[in-house]
Amino acid sequence: MPELAGRLADVRVSPSAAMTAKAREMRARGIDVISLSNGEPDFATPPHAIEAAHQAALRGDTKYPPQGGTPALKAAIARKFKRDNGLDYGPDEIIVGNGGKQVIFNAFMATLDPGDEVVIPSPFWVSYADMAKVAGGVPVTVSCPQNNGFKPRPEDLEAAITPRTKWVMLNFPGNPTGAVPTAQELAALGEVLLRHPNLWVLSDDMYEHLLYDGHRFSTVAQVTPGLKDRTLTVNGCSKTYAMTGWRIGFGGGPAKLIKGMFNMQGQATAGVSTISQAAATAALDGPQDLVEERRAAYQQRRDMVVEMLNAAPGITCHKPEGAFYVFPSVAGLLGRTSKGGRRLDTDTDVVAALLEEKHVACVQGAAYGMSPHMRISYATDAASLTEACGRIQEFCRELT
């Protein structure tokens, strides 16, 4: 039988997707699994976005789309960047992709040559490193431990940059930690990046509107304007508007980069569903009251989850400033044995035992580049979260 490409040897199946699939399979067998592994809002898409999609279909807007995005959506994206971030982008500086993931993938494929380095603060979203590898790049991680609030320090970022660095990734609020730097902290990182004019900067702002306790959002091209001409600012509709299945991501950046990404997208998927683009246009331009209502609901869930996890013996949970994840340390559980007889030597052992014995699905911190932790998504209803955290507490109390 013919062999698969060698590039797949270092590319993993997403651990969060794998855990979600396993939880789904257990549910299908009648097991009462509570899944906290998936980064997907449990809210519905705003009704006006759904109606806009319906009307687009009725009027026959169902043909091949423009490859880089419809004029209407690109104009709405330009208004969003100006309104929320103080950034001006023209039509040739904006691209629409099939989710934020494709936008990032396009950027890597358009810029990385074999051996080019991509600096990624760790813990990080699982796909960053694998996408860099597929494009021929080499991921270089910068450790951002809990005692630093899971945020990179300027001196650590500086130390990671080499003559081979092509990209530096920034993701705030962060997945899996929910970390959010202040504008001053972000500007300090920007000062480091200004000293290295031959690298690109990617700011993944997908969780922009999910901030708590009065924290304000800033993006790097906004606080360090000198970086704008080599920064790709990525966002989308998935998290803010609960539109994961519509697959709308977008990026704003210099026209040279966007042109290269446009070319790459043309060889991969071409354009994005016209129906989805109509829905996204309505979401970005329409009433934003649902965004605040849902942000407040997430904050209440966060507070409850953090409190209940910190009451579980052996778990220490940092309170995140944004997103809808917590990334608690499970160091206090290691070296012990579960009620079901599993020895817990790693965070992977912890999440496996939790799933098998308490039917709660989480994702090991190793998947995100930092152990011993686990990622828990609180993008689910309060009753399920309360039950799941209660099961986690019971699991911890039963350890020997």
Burial status of residue 259 (CB atoms within 10 A of its CB: 0-12, 13-18, 19 or more): middle
**Cis ω before 46 (30° cut-off from 0):** no
What one-character DSSP code corresponds to residue 153?
-
Q: Among 2.60.120.10, 3.40.50.720, 3.50.50.60, 3.40.640.10, name the CATH number for the domain at 63-285.
A: 3.40.640.10
Please report which helix (H) or strand (E) contains residue 374, including its range: strand 374-377
∠ at Cα 12 (124, 173), nearest 5°? Answer: 20
pLDDT tens digits in sequence order for the chain, 400 residues long: 899 998 888 887 778 788 888 888 888 899 999 999 989 999 999 999 999 999 999 999 999 999 999 999 999 999 999 999 999 999 999 999 999 999 999 999 999 999 999 999 999 998 999 999 999 999 999 999 999 999 999 999 999 999 999 999 999 999 999 999 999 999 999 999 999 999 999 999 999 999 999 999 999 999 999 999 999 999 999 999 999 999 999 999 999 999 999 999 999 999 999 999 999 999 999 999 999 999 999 999 999 999 999 999 999 999 999 999 999 999 999 999 999 999 999 999 999 999 999 999 999 999 999 999 999 999 999 999 999 999 999 999 999 9
Please report which helix (H) or strand (E) contains residue 330, including its range: none
Output the pTM of the full model: 0.96
- Distance in angstroms (rounded) separating the CA atoms of residues 259 and 107: 10
- Distance in angstroms (rounded) separating the CA atoms of residues 375 and 124: 11
Sequence-distant (6+) residues with CB within 8 A of 259 are 92
Report the CATH fold assignment for 6-44+290-397: Aspartate Aminotransferase, domain 1 (3.90.1150)
| Region at 149 (left for phi over 0; alpha for psi -120 to 50; beta for the rest) | left
Model confidence pLDDT, tens digit, residues 43-75: 999 999 999 999 999 999 999 999 999 999 999
Burial status of residue 393 (CB atoms within 10 A of its CB: 0-12, 13-18, 19 or more): middle
Look at residue 24 in the predicted model and tell me its pLDDT: 86
- For 227, the 3-state DSSP assignment is helix
Q: Which residue has the tokens 């246009």?
A: 281
What one-character DSSP code corresponds to residue 356?
I
Per-domain residue ranges for the chain?
Answer: 6-44+290-397, 63-285
Look at residue 13 in the predicted model and tell me its pLDDT: 78
As given in the structure block, the two tokens for residue 337 are 């044995």
- Distance in angstroms (rounded) separating the CA atoms of residues 118 and 115: 10
